[in-house]
Structure 1
Amino acid sequence: MQKAHAALLPPRDVGDSVETLMLHPVIKAFLCGAVSGTCSTLLFQPLDLLKTRLQTVQPSADGSRRVGMLALLLNVVRTESLWGLWKGMAPSIVRCVPGVGIYFGTLYSSKQYLLRGHPPTALESVVLGMGSRSVAGVCMSPITVIKTRYESGRYGYRSIYAALRTIYHREGHRGLFSGLTATLLRDAPFSGIYLMFYNQTKSIVSQDQLDVTLIPIVNFGCGILAGILASLVTQPADVIKTHMQLSPGKFRWIGQAVMFIFKDYGPRGFFQGGVPRALRRTLMAAMAWTVYEEMMAKMGLKS
């Protein structure tokens, strides 16, 4: 009798079991950000390596420091093979995958808590972007230091763990967070300015009236424009950060690095490596946001 009664009951909705397995929206945002960070990091790591090398190029015999990006690219391929362009890939992945996830997770939760559904103003976008990036920057600072040193070619760490242990033993906890202030002065304004321009340019185009297939293209285009503007504003801080992370004993505070760069390189020194960095940051951010928004849409969440 019980079996017959059970047979008459409607089958349990599959959605009920799926609902119990649903992740918290912030976790979903973290996972979407981590996936987008992985894709963009794998593609654009060579540009990051070239940027680091250009910022720390050594003077030639005639005292000249000017080296073109193409010449440096060919030199790396000739002396370190094609895979040499992906040197520092491991710390980049370890840094960017959770780092981008932390950024998007923090950004999503902040928007839900502070905005409560209404679109952000330009100022709110700046504050949200800067706050979210600062959280991610502090969390991933030790890996950022290792990544920069790998890319410079000056350090021969056997692994990320060995690098962490060596830096801690030789330089203490300060070494793991060297250049943190400069990093935040670079990343927080970049993310704030980027998010402001990205949201503002997206608001100009009404996506409700666009074909679904065109939305990713529009998002990518908005990301490109926002990335170029944000990269130009924050390039000097990136150069200062690189020098401080490579020579923490030499540069104990930002002013020392600023004076060194100005004395040895001149005003141009604050924009060394600007082209590969602008290309990488612009393309990486545009791709990360495009992938992130597409994945969030698939999960039924508003980014």
Structure 2
Amino acid sequence: MELTLAHPVLKAFMCGSLSGTCSTLLFQPLDLVKTRLQTLHGSMQPGSSRVGMVSVLLTVVRTERLLGLWKGVSPSFARTIPGVGIYFSTFYSLKQHFFPDGPPGALHAVLLGGGARTVAGVVMLPVTVIKTRFECGRYSYGSVAGALRSVCRTEGPAALFSGLMATLFRDVPFSAIYVMFYSQTKAALPREISSSPSAALANFGCGILAGVLASLITQPADVVKTQVQVNPQLRTLQAVTLIHTESGLRGFFRGAVPRCLRRTLMSAMAWTVYEHMMAQLGLKS
């Protein structure tokens, strides 16, 4: 019995990990630009000219070459491949346990998405901290393993869980809102579209809509999370105060465009690939 239960969960983990690999490789430059935007403004003097997404992109290419846009891709892989696998396998397990007979309703989708993201977020937080530090350009770590050892040695293991609350306040609502909008818009599609060869494209469109809404709602928490993880001496409330003092309410939406693009496209692709692979394996996602 245990093997029977574990088998589809393992398949869900593998499908999720593969979808995370593809989306991470494609959209890592957007994540790097978002992190640079959020950390640059903390060090700018009042009255400085605004720094936009394109100028940061060009600066990275000019100073670190084209491959500089993929700086931090190793910790991104280390975080996303198992992280997305954990997320989807947890989501699948919860769905099969609580709602085995049909698609969940809106409230149930919120609980499923939020629960799965809580598990994945806590488990993968140490690698998330390292990933953020790689991308910001202030730290010169040689590898993910070396960075983990360095942080434990110089700052203590607790530093690997810096920004835990801000991360959960960002990721749990994002996933809950995303799954709710995604599942409900997909369920509203006409039957002829859902069963046609263009079903994957329609599902991707549903994912785009859900991703935009979820990204904008959770953007302030992402800015706070980045500041706490890059500046470990800051507490969450201190980071909120600092951002507001330096930039006002607008500061909580620094990097919103690249993050919205990345999270929207990445989530839409991950769900589309995951559901397609699960269907090929004969499993209900």
How many pairs were matched up?
A: 282
Aligned to 1:277: 259
After TM superposition, the structure 1 stretch with the greater mean CA deviation from structure 2, 113-122 or 76-85, is 113-122
Deviation at 1:68, TM superposition (A): 1.0
* Aligned residue type for 1:301: L
Residues 188-207 of structure 1: matches in 2 within 5 Å? 188-207=172-191
Describe the shift of the 1:135–1:62 C-alpha distance in structure 2 as closer, same or farther (beyond 3 A): closer
- Which runs of 5 or more structure 2 residues have no equivalent in the other structure? none
1:49-77 per-residue CA deviation (whole Å, 9 max, x = no partner) reads 00000001145567426201111111100
Aligned to 1:107: 91
Is the aligned partner of 1:26 residue 2:13?
A: no
Match of 1:260 among 242, 245, 253: 242
RMSD: 1.7
Q: Could you list the runs of 4 or more consecutive aligned residues of structure 1 that deviate by over 6 angstroms after TM superposition?
A: 20-23
1:131-161 per-residue CA deviation (whole Å, 9 max, x = no partner) reads 1001000110000000000000000001111
- Which runs of 5 or more structure 1 residues have no equivalent in the other structure? 1-19
* Aligned residue type for 2:27: F
Is the aligned partner of 1:293 residue 2:271?
A: no
Aligned to 1:56: 39
Q: Quick one: distance in 2 between partners of 1:192 and 1:257? A: 25
* Aligned residue type for 1:213: P
Q: Quick one: distance in 2 between partners of 1:66 and 1:204? A: 42
Q: Percent of aligned pairs with the same residue? A: 61
Aligned to 1:42: 25
After TM superposition, the structure 1 stretch with the greater mean CA deviation from structure 2, 50-59 or 236-245, is 50-59
Aligned to 1:9: none
* Aligned residue type for 2:180: M
Q: Quick one: distance in 1 between partners of 2:91 and 2:191? A: 21
Higher Cα Rg, which structure: 1
Q: Quick one: distance in 1 between partners of 2:283 and 2:106? A: 22
Match of 2:213 among 213, 221, 229: 229
SS state of the match for residue 212, structure 1? coil
1:60-105 per-residue CA deviation (whole Å, 9 max, x = no partner) reads 5674262011111111000000000000000000100000000000
Q: Quick one: distance in 2 between partners of 1:147 and 1:29? A: 25
* Aligned residue type for 1:292: Y
TM-score normalised according to structure 1 size: 0.90
Deviation at 1:24, TM superposition (A): 0.5
1:176-212 per-residue CA deviation (whole Å, 9 max, x = no partner) reads 0000110010000000000000001001113465453
TM-score normalised according to structure 2 size: 0.95
Aligned to 1:69: 53
Contact in 2 for aligned 1:243/1:257 (Cα 8 Å): yes
Q: Quick one: distance in 2 between partners of 1:136 and 1:117? A: 25
